Amino acid sequence: MPVGFSRSEVQAIAALANLELDESELDLFARQLGEVLDYATQVQNIDTTGVPPTASLGVRHEADRADLVQPSLDRDLALSNAPDASLEAGLFKVPRVIG
Amino acid sequence: MNRLGTVREIRDAFRRGERSAVDVCTEALSCIAMRDPELHAFNTITGEQALARAAAIDSDRARWIDRPLAGVPVALKDNLCTRGVRTTASSRILEHFVPPFDATAVARLESAGAVIVGKTNCDEFAMGSSNENSAFGPARNPWAPDRIPGGSSGGSAVAVASGMTPLALGSDTGGSIRQPAALCGIVGLKPTYGRVSRYGLLAFASSLDQIGPLARTVEDVAIALTVIAGADPADATTAAEPVPDFSAGLSSHARGMRVGVPQTLVDQGVDGEVTAAYRAALDVLRDRGATLIDIDLPYAGAAIPVYYLIATAEASSNLARYDGVRYGFRDRGTDGDSTHRRDLDLKTMYARTRARGFGPEVKRRIMLGTYVLSAGYYDAYYLKAQQVRTLIRRDYERAFEQVEVVAMPTSPTPAFKIGERVSDPLQMYLADVFTVSANLAGLPAVSVPCGFTGNGLPIGLQLTGRTFEELTMLRIAHAYEQGK
């Protein structure tokens, strides 16, 4: 079955992803996401009855480490790339969220 | 073109006192100054800093003389964090980001005596197979500058192939080291998942990403892997496997080695000249003493859709952090009409920042990933893809009961023209048909040059090995390289 996307469906996905899309992007993505998902639906024809999913690849880890306090990133350095920060208060600043 | 020499040659000349780190670094920087304006391999060149570092090595020779990369200039893909040096992932959203720490792989290179000369161009956040998704413009293939160098680690491949540096690091999520290495005629290695720490690598798809080296010889990537491999407390996915000297015991024969040939898979949609080069490479492996064995990887044909469902899902989550608050670009626009201007509310600031900071391919993948993880579609796409991922892993497990490595072409076609596929994402994704399975199964794989097309474009042979058996895989790759 072909996968079709309406502009309002694309808009809804964009809202979930925190992306503001313009008119031309809505049209473009409606078409392109449909094409890619159409191609991807071939996985649905594969019989996976009883097959467990692979979410991550298990590797052999070191034994548990001791839970010791270690030096970490200096606060001013951590704030140094922020577009808006108060170094004195040690805070990232965001636009006003309450009235 | 290759005056700098290989990693091994530079290191040995430094040890013998024939070349200083400053001489080598100066040569690398002058080659970059000459070639990079045309090829655009670099986003950032660390000229003075690199020379100062080389001078520090020269003034303390005794400390560095036995280090495996003493005085070797290295280029780093621009998604590897470097303390005090801009790290952009070729994205507007990180255009002015200066990391406060080094990636573990970078710190290990420097402890080994390497001199970082710059950060290389790549597809934005490593998403792409052509380097055309860079916000700063594409890198160009040194063999044919009107063609793509491959991607996403395109700049790293160009830097090595054009002789600007003997060694570069890249990252490989679905072929991003191996495919550009193949298209630029050099060696590119993706280690086993968990072999190299990903601490300080800007994350794209965390169950697939792996850092690895690009160089001109198998021996050089083996030397580099020995340096960067090993467990790291800062990355819980690194494995507690012993790290051998991968460059020891490389020999010119492959006697006793069994090489798997998945003929059915390779027969589909591969360029004629690539097929011919691949067949010739198999003959060389046989001449070197290897036995060729037909194998079947029935589910590997579904690797592309599985990969694009899983990688985009993970990307949509990983890239949620770029919201204009802690680092990177923030849209400082305002809302309302001219008499009632007000600052954007938080949610709109996020959405505009991301809209203006990310390029089209990154947006496309975030959208696709968000969709396949959303309620109602999760089971049909994401969960299903994870189940087929298990079947692909089993394909390889079965094959590795019979063979030491699996041989395939790295890319189904040689380098295509810049602009040829940009408007057709699906066509672009198909370039990864032979490379993505190694990421899905967590296996090591290496691309080695195996000839040229009639019009002089490089072709790569890919060998995929067993989990944590890079040593055997590199020995076979080296034997091939010596025999061709």
How far apart CA B287 and CA A20 sit, in angstroms, is 58
Specify the range with the lowest mean pLDDT, choosing from A71-75, A80-84, B115-119, B453-457. A71-75
Q: What is the pLDDT of residue A1?
A: 47
Instruction: List the domains of chain A with CATH numbers.
Output: 7-45 (1.10.20)
How far apart CA B385 and CA A41 sit, in angstroms, is 10
Distance from CA of B276 to the nearest CA of A (A): 29
How far apart CA B272 and CA B267 sit, in angstroms, is 10
How far apart CA B164 and CA B33 sit, in angstroms, is 9
Contact list in B for residue A49 (CB cut-off 8 A) is none
Task: List Cα–Cα distances, B343 to A94, B334, B354, in angstroms.
Answer: 11, 5, 17
Task: List Cα–Cα distances, B228 to A29, B113, B151, B159, B463, in angstroms.
Answer: 40, 12, 22, 20, 21
Mean per-residue pLDDT, B300-323: 97
How far apart CA B364 and CA A21 sit, in angstroms, is 11
Q: What is the DSSP letter of B164?
A: S
Say yes or no for a CB contact (<8 Å) between A37 and B348: no
- B349: nearest CB among A21, A60, A95: A95
B447 a catalytic residue: no
- A60: nearest CB among B239, B305, B370: B239
Mean per-residue pLDDT, B124-145: 98
Half-sphere exposure of B290 (CA within 13 A, CB side): 33
Give A 15-74 residues with CB within 8 A of chain B: 16-22, 25, 28-29, 32-33, 35-37, 39-44, 46, 48, 51-57, 59-62, 65, 73-74
- Let me know how long chain B is: 484
Cβ within 8 Å of residue B206, ≥6 positions away: B198, B237, B314, B318
Please report the number of interchain residue pairs, chain A to chain B, with beta-carbon separation below 8 angstroms: 173
Cβ within 8 Å of residue B373, ≥6 positions away: B313, B316, B317, B382
H or E element at residue B187: strand B187-190
- Please determine, for residue A61, whether its predicted confidence score (pLDDT) is greater than 80: no
B211-215 and B167-171 as β-strands: parallel, antiparallel, unpaired? Answer: antiparallel
- B351: nearest CB among A19, A35, A54: A19
Contact list in A for residue B343 (CB cut-off 8 A) is 95-96
Say yes or no for a CB contact (<8 Å) between A94 and B349: yes
Half-sphere exposure of B26 (CA within 13 A, CB side): 6
B152 a catalytic residue: yes
**pLDDT per position as a tens digit, B355-376:** 999 999 999 999 999 999 998 9
How far apart CA B180 and CA B230 sit, in angstroms, is 25
Contact list in B for residue A16 (CB cut-off 8 A) is 370, 374
Specify the range with the lowest mean pLDDT, choosing from B126-130, B418-422, B444-448. B418-422
- Say what the ipTM of the complex is: 0.94
Task: List Cα–Cα distances, B269 to A83, B30, B273, B316, in angstroms.
Answer: 48, 42, 12, 30
- B367: nearest CB among A17, A20, A40: A17
Determine the residue of chain B that is closest to A15 in CA distance.
B351
**pLDDT per position as a tens digit, B425-481:** 888 888 899 999 999 999 999 999 999 999 999 999 999 999 999 999 999 999 999
CA max distance for chain B: 81
B176 a catalytic residue: yes
**pLDDT per position as a tens digit, B14-72:** 999 999 999 999 999 999 999 999 999 999 999 999 999 999 999 999 999 999 999 99
Distance from CA of A88 to the nearest CA of B (A): 16
Contact list in A for residue B344 (CB cut-off 8 A) is 95
Neighbours of B335 (CB within 10 A): 13
R_g over Cα of chain A: 23
Indicate which of A22, A42, A54 best probes the interface with B, i.e. most B CBs within 10 Å of its own CB.
A54
User: Roughly what angle, to the nearest 10 degrees, separates helices B218-228 and B470-483?
Assistant: 160
**pLDDT per position as a tens digit, B271-307:** 999 999 999 999 999 999 999 999 999 999 999 999 9
Say yes or no for a CB contact (<8 Å) between B384 and A48: yes
Contact list in B for residue A39 (CB cut-off 8 A) is 304-305, 426
- B241: nearest CB among A35, A40, A60: A60
**pLDDT per position as a tens digit, B169-215:** 999 999 999 999 999 999 999 999 999 999 999 999 999 999 999 99
Instruction: List the domains of chain B with CATH numbers.
Output: 7-249 (3.90.1300.10), 320-384 (no CATH)
